[in-house]
Structure 1
């Protein structure tokens, strides 16, 4: 028995590596990194993060997916191959838009469930396609609804905990033609999940599953790669406030969807309610975020007193000085600064030591100081909103 399970596990690993979704997500992560670097060089004349920045975030949740598999296997989730194939097609198409916000579980699983409910009512005349559609119709509705709810919860957690980490600073032109700073997060995540698919493979009795009972059937073990994505931009709040709030809202949406998924065990039409809530709820969260941005004043702008920190270059002096994004530098080496030029002049007044007076988000003053060493960045590594920046006509 253990030998059979070992062979099946090796087959599952092999199936993972022949699946197109991991390669598409890796390619998309690298493309997002390339486009980000191009924008960073235009805005700040320096690369903030390397091209693998998005890719590192993409592969971080892989262990989370394997842990999540304990939950899905415990529920007895079995999904037909045709449904997994459809999810993969939707995922690849949404990923190729290079707009990570479309890679939401609400859209991927919402569209899939609607296809399961609607497509079997039609025929194409092509036997191969019609067979796959009819196979999709055999999908256990509570199972796919549980996957929808579970991945919305996971999406919310990832945005909440990772969405605000190492976000990308950028400069844009306001309606008045002045530079305004913003922070953007663009994430794609790869989440492998163990699933049982009907077909050849291990023969087992699965009546021990606590929720669903399928009796005796033949199935095969797969490691199915799922993908999620998220993108958001904020002008009016620091990343840890703006993006974490969105994550908590999506997490709460996932909890409500999970309760509906439980209800589908007895009332299957609740699946349609879950799909509508998932899609409308996700769009409503996006709308509320956009509304907050429109109604609140931007914070990353030129000020009469001090310079607001828009970004911090990794491994720089600035990163080691305990100054955070959104804080305001009022004085450098005892000199009041209100422009980038004054900031540079104050730094040059003492090339061996730097002392900053900083105003934090609680409007409390504090001092940060550090010795400067040969070879360290002459501008410390703070990214600031540059007044008087000239804008090119062409898009970058």
Structure 2
């Protein structure tokens, strides 16, 4: 491999500028940030404390996205994935338009699949095309569909990896109104990323690189002028779950991403080695499989008993704050605290009164998700008694979030409060 003209710096500069100057990158990132910022006011009203971490969470996510994107870029470059700049514009525009219809459709895998389907349909049309539309029609019809399927495969596999890495800050508590009008707890999953990946593209200007005879990426000819181009991939999952554990939903999601990755890779290889129609089949299969998964998970969550409903037998734990005494004790969301220091607790007043009986020691009798009792205890040092880090599901008549079960990229943006919510007292967080 050798470099022509201005060398590596010009190529690296094009790579960076293609990502930094892409408005789609900022649009997707802005909505991911907005979705987190909206949590803060609600959490303070409900729990009297802010649970969502924004600054640190976003920095860590950006670092993870860049690390995963680097690995995905190496794989795409080695596979000889080459796109055109009109196709990049086309996919970004399709993603934005789909996002206007519904946010989950703006996710990179879905947007790429829909773009491939539309391009395939245009190729099947052989009638007359108005002269004004001919350049746009040609740009869409000549989209390198196989290469874009490879980019989509990189997106879903990156999503599977990111769902294993640092998900604690993406699982957050919420309050909803049940179908019977009661207030109960729920868990929100807000796992959104914008992952940059690099692919080959025809050079815009003189600086370019070319491969000498010998090893070269698949379907890249020796001596062919090439340049790098960065593509931002918006991906991730957002959901509101009342019955299914978020960890279980993510486990199913990882298997879904692996299956979607296999489908897209098969479409990429099939379109290059067999028939171009393989890209269309793979794109349709990806959209269908994604919607089937969404429907199945929503039905599963709807048909099971809620995990965070108030219980007359004690206080239901909704959330445990990171680094708190409750986390060190191993108290988990969904568990029921029935006794504190051997005294039964049914209300938050009972809870604090029982703690006051022995300020230096805390002993909790819990019932876990399987209905099995267990005991946890620990010395309580000065100041810890008022900051145990437990958020309870407290009964009340105030309407909170409308009970919906969104699932998909940025779908939690559609959650709405069903009326005014009184500011929670500090005692709602123990």
Structures share fold, TM-score greater than 0.5? yes
Alignment-derived partner of residue 381 in structure 1: 389
Alignment-derived partner of residue 348 in structure 1: 356
Q: Secondary structure at the match of 1:297?
A: coil
Alignment-derived partner of residue 244 in structure 1: 251
Q: How many Å separate the matches in 1 of 2:281 and 2:166?
A: 29
Q: How many Å separate the matches in 2 of 1:132 and 1:377?
A: 66
Alignment-derived partner of residue 372 in structure 1: 380
Q: How many Å separate the matches in 2 of 1:72 and 1:330?
A: 55
Relative to structure 1, the CA distance from residue 225 to residue 377 in structure 2 (aligned partners, 3 Å threshold; closer, same or farther) is: farther
Deviates more, 1:74-83 or 1:114-123: 114-123
Q: How many Å separate the matches in 2 of 1:283 and 1:162?
A: 26
CA drift of 1:291 comes to 0.7
Tell me if 1:322 matches 2:330.
yes
Relative to structure 1, the CA distance from residue 309 to residue 101 in structure 2 (aligned partners, 3 Å threshold; closer, same or farther) is: farther
Tell me if 1:233 matches 2:219.
no
For residues 136-155 of structure 1, what are the structure 2 equivalents within 5 Å? 136-155=140-159
Alignment-derived partner of residue 227 in structure 2: 220
Q: How many Å separate the matches in 2 of 1:345 and 1:84?
A: 63
CA drift of 1:143 comes to 1.5
Relative to structure 1, the CA distance from residue 334 to residue 95 in structure 2 (aligned partners, 3 Å threshold; closer, same or farther) is: farther
Q: How many Å separate the matches in 2 of 1:52 and 1:29?
A: 12
For residues 1-396 of structure 1, what are the structure 2 equivalents within 5 Å? 1=2, 4-52=7-55, 55-56=58-59, 58-59=61-62, 60-93=64-97, 101-119=104-122, 121=125, 123=129, 125-126=131-132, 130-159=134-163, 166-199=170-203, 200=205, 201-205=207-211, 208-209=215-216, 211-214=218-221, 216-265=223-272, 266-376=274-384, 378=386, 380-391=388-399, 394=419
Deviates more, 1:224-233 or 1:42-51: 42-51
Q: How many residues align?
A: 393
Q: How many Å separate the matches in 1 of 2:195 and 2:76?
A: 13
Q: How many Å separate the matches in 1 of 2:315 and 2:250?
A: 23
Gaps of at least 5 residues in structure 1 are: none
Q: Secondary structure at the match of 1:61?
A: helix
Relative to structure 1, the CA distance from residue 173 to residue 359 in structure 2 (aligned partners, 3 Å threshold; closer, same or farther) is: same
Relative to structure 1, the CA distance from residue 198 to residue 138 in structure 2 (aligned partners, 3 Å threshold; closer, same or farther) is: farther
1:198-232 Cα offsets, whole Å, 9 max, x none, are 13331414773453244543332122222113111
CA drift of 1:167 comes to 0.6
Relative to structure 1, the CA distance from residue 390 to residue 228 in structure 2 (aligned partners, 3 Å threshold; closer, same or farther) is: same
Q: Does the 8 A contact of 1:100 with 1:230 survive in 2?
A: no
Q: How many Å separate the matches in 1 of 2:363 and 2:93?
A: 55
Structure of higher RCO (CA pairs closer than 8 Å, 6+ residues apart)? 2
Q: If the length of structure 2 is used for normalisation, what is the TM-score?
A: 0.82
Q: How many Å separate the matches in 1 of 2:100 and 2:39?
A: 16
Relative to structure 1, the CA distance from residue 57 to residue 285 in structure 2 (aligned partners, 3 Å threshold; closer, same or farther) is: farther
Relative to structure 1, the CA distance from residue 11 to residue 259 in structure 2 (aligned partners, 3 Å threshold; closer, same or farther) is: closer
Q: Does the 8 A contact of 1:308 with 1:384 survive in 2?
A: yes
Relative to structure 1, the CA distance from residue 38 to residue 90 in structure 2 (aligned partners, 3 Å threshold; closer, same or farther) is: farther
Deviates more, 1:132-141 or 1:377-386: 132-141
Deviates more, 1:160-169 or 1:266-275: 160-169
1:287-332 Cα offsets, whole Å, 9 max, x none, are 0001101211111111232333211223433233222222332321
CA drift of 1:233 comes to 1.6
Q: Secondary structure at the match of 1:380?
A: coil
Q: How many Å separate the matches in 2 of 1:226 and 1:267?
A: 27
1:224-253 Cα offsets, whole Å, 9 max, x none, are 222113111211122212332233223223
Q: How many Å separate the matches in 2 of 1:333 and 1:390?
A: 31
Q: Give the RMSD, CA atoms, in angstroms.
A: 2.8
Q: How many Å separate the matches in 2 of 1:56 and 1:286?
A: 29
Q: Does the 8 A contact of 2:317 with 2:332 survive in 1?
A: yes
Q: Does the 8 A contact of 1:29 with 1:55 survive in 2?
A: no
Q: How many Å separate the matches in 2 of 1:124 and 1:156?
A: 44
